[in-house]
Structure 1
Amino acid sequence: MKTASERYAALVRLVESRTVTRATPALLLPAGPYFDLAGEEFGRNLLLTTTNNGVEYCLRPDFTLPIAQQYLEDGLTGAPSAYTYLGPIFRQYQSTPVEFEQAGLELLGQADADNALDQVLTFARWALAIYDITAPSVRLGGVGLFEAFLEAAQIPVAWRSRIRHRFGHPEALERLMERLANPEERVEAPAPDSRDTVIEIVTDAMLSGGLSLIGSRTPEEIADRYLEKQALESAPIPPETVALLQNYLSVAESTETAFERISEMCKQAGFDFDEPLYQVRNHAAALAALSPNADVIFDASFSPRLDYYTGIVFEMTGSDGEVLASGGEYDRMLERLGAGEPVKASGCALWVDRLEREAEQ
């Protein structure tokens, strides 16, 4: 059995392969991009400091975002690049500052996105093998597959973004599904003719009520929210479509069984969904070949909480249920960071301390 130092040395060799560039982002990074990309929920886990001119910085909470930023700043948009990393990250855990060590791989601008994801899965399995973890539990999810399902099932456009934004947030999605399954009886007042009309009505109401027009919610924001609600109310989802959506989200079983179940439910609903399923099937098969002892399931409701993920996502857990590795395809991150053209991206992060604990059990 290898010692802890031998395992770590093997991980370093994996990270410093000749085919990749080992990245070492600064320990202190601007906090703004993390709030913009990951939102307040992730932001609460940051360890923050503020400069004299009011700019917020944070101790490095991950490697993916600064690597993606550097890729764009170096003018590499569209160029195939491979980065690895190994080092500390810093977050709050139960209101206590904690330092973790992470390793990972990021593949940006690869011509063959499917092959890039398979390389990411292979990297994760190699890393686990260093720690003698040969039979992890693996959960696959499909963000792009879910978006394709919403379109194929003819979910009204007005509802798609609302449902998608709750994907990966089980409690919020469950509340929305409950609302869709049990619509309230209501009589709505006629909607005003235009956005400008609504803004004027809201402005008059705020001023007559003594409210400031400069605050957390402007008349424009209130008007847009009102019009969105009107659009949703005017586009109800048929009960059978709600039931189909709930049935899809309930799928969480072995990959082949899961894909067959999804395929069959879609055919019964009157549409063929086998082509969108094809890509996920292939990656699941590649993962099974790579790690035949792993327990692999497809969970249709699984998604990271970060909405820049776009395709297949995964997490690998150990015997105690802790996540050892996670990742997937995240094309939207580069776009939201200002890339002038679409950039394919996939990667994974591994929790080194957890890997070591699993190896010692």
Structure 2
Amino acid sequence: MTAESAKAFEALEGQARALLDLFARAGYEPVAPAIIQPAGVFLDQIGEQVRGRTYVFTDLAGEELCLRPDLTVPVSRLYLERHPQADEQARYSYNGPAFRFQPLGPSATHPREFRQAGIECFGVPDKENADIEMIRLAVEAVKSAGLRDFSLRFGDIALFYALVDALQLPKRWRNKLRHYFWRPPVFHALLDRIAQGTRPEPDTLATALADKIASADQARAEEIVAAYLDAQGIPLAGNRSLREIAERLLDHAADLRADPLPQEVGTVIDYVLTVSAPPREACDKLAMIAKGAGLDIDAGLGAISRRFDRLEGEGVDLSRATFTAEFGRKLEYYSGLVFQIEAEGLDETEPVAGGGRYDNLLTALGAPRPVPAVGSAIHTERLLAAVEGGA
């Protein structure tokens, strides 16, 4: 290690120690979840944008494992190990590496291995209080590290869910729009297609294979897919199982048969998702769109507005904050509030910190009851670079 790299490492570790001290004073117990995790847990929960960037391998015993691409899932698993009945409140903090493939190549702001210092809060029934605590601590943490020039970006996935419920969409399209929300280009292509009444091109190999398995049960469908892949010499590689491939083919076939959405429904969704403005202005715009469309999303908008009131009341500066209706971050376990802290000179894809609410994750990991949960992680290398760059 060169003198320069040793100095950088010590600065990073010093920053992390200070962050963990701050979290400890706020009541967050430090934990160290395992770096190697069961692959299936992550591939099922983190979503398409991250699962394709996860380092997956099989050990000598044949178990499929991965290098953790984030720390929220490992800390959630640790919570369930300690509290199998999921009936206790807990607050944990951590600092350690995470790993993601970078399709454009690693860089200073997008390395393959990066460090996260963060906090996770489990089981607190007053979700609003926990959300406020999480945002306030994240802001306090980056400010304590010396970051001065930053802005806040907010979104709320629960508001989008409330919108599609208020529109009374067919269950199929409601579920698909929820599924693709985190991938805006795919989402808008899907919305345009189903609102215009166009269907996927039917004369494809995928459609032909889907037709073969359309009337089969799951086990038989997987056998047919396996036989086809074998006959074509196509290896089963990457992060897709036979079950998932069969399910996607059946989903593709169902798209061909489904009725389109009314075009005006697609227009309303588009209008809502184009809203990106300072928090008060965004709430007013969303209320106006909802009123014009005859939709009742008052409860969701009221919760968002009240959250902003409380944040300002607790000293969080929202003068440079933005609420973006389409903002959902990249991890698909989020279910409500999402936020990130963006430093001057770094774009939206390079936040120094971010987090949100993930109330459905713990039951997906095996909890016997729903567990309200919210967390935040700081990309410590980005934070240090932003602080030193602004010094």
Q: TM-score, normalised by structure 2?
A: 0.78
User: 1:132 aligns to what SS in structure 2?
Assistant: coil
Quickly say closer, same or farther: Cα 1:281–1:104, change in 2 above 3 A. Answer: same
Quickly say closer, same or farther: Cα 1:184–1:44, change in 2 above 3 A. Answer: closer
Q: Indicate the residue corresponding to 1:192 in structure 2.
A: none
Q: Indicate the residue corresponding to 1:352 in structure 2.
A: 380
Contact 2:20–2:94 under 8 Å retained in 1: no
Quickly say closer, same or farther: Cα 1:23–1:8, change in 2 above 3 A. Answer: closer
Where do 1:150-169 residues align within 5 Å? 150-169=164-183
Q: Which moved more, 1:142-151 or 1:272-281?
A: 272-281
Alignment partner for residue 334 of structure 1, among 353, 357, 362? 362
Quickly say closer, same or farther: Cα 1:150–1:39, change in 2 above 3 A. Answer: closer
Quickly say closer, same or farther: Cα 1:18–1:308, change in 2 above 3 A. Answer: closer
Quickly say closer, same or farther: Cα 1:228–1:8, change in 2 above 3 A. Answer: closer
**1:32 aligns to 2:40 (yes or no):** yes
Alignment size in residue pairs? 345
What's the offset of the Cα at 1:325? Answer: 0.8
Structure 1 unaligned blocks of 5 or more: 189-194
Deviations 1:148-205 (A, max 9, x none): 011112223331011111101011012112213432399x9xxxxxx9x95169x9xx
Deviations 1:54-93 (A, max 9, x none): 2233333322111111111222503111001122223333
Of all paired residues, the percent bearing the same amino acid is: 31
Quickly say closer, same or farther: Cα 1:43–1:200, change in 2 above 3 A. Answer: closer
Quickly say closer, same or farther: Cα 1:45–1:228, change in 2 above 3 A. Answer: closer
**Amino acid aligned to 1:254:** P
Contact 2:89–2:123 under 8 Å retained in 1: yes
User: 1:199 aligns to what SS in structure 2?
Assistant: coil
Quickly say closer, same or farther: Cα 1:49–1:273, change in 2 above 3 A. Answer: closer
Q: Indicate the residue corresponding to 2:304 in structure 1.
A: 280
**Amino acid aligned to 1:159:** W
Contact 1:83–1:106 under 8 Å retained in 2: yes
> In structure 1, what is the Cα distance between the partners aligned to 2:228 and 2:297?
51
Structure 2 unaligned blocks of 5 or more: 1-9, 203-210, 237-241
Contact 1:142–1:311 under 8 Å retained in 2: yes
**Amino acid aligned to 2:289:** M
Contact 2:353–2:376 under 8 Å retained in 1: yes
Deviations 1:15-52 (A, max 9, x none): 33362211111233222211121256423433444321
> In structure 1, what is the Cα distance between the partners aligned to 2:357 and 2:246?
38
> In structure 2, what is the Cα distance between the partners aligned to 1:153 and 1:12?
44
Contact 1:267–1:273 under 8 Å retained in 2: no
Q: Which moved more, 1:340-349 or 1:170-179?
A: 170-179
> In structure 1, what is the Cα distance between the partners aligned to 2:246 and 2:35?
41
User: 2:69 aligns to what SS in structure 1?
Assistant: coil
Quickly say closer, same or farther: Cα 1:31–1:132, change in 2 above 3 A. Answer: same
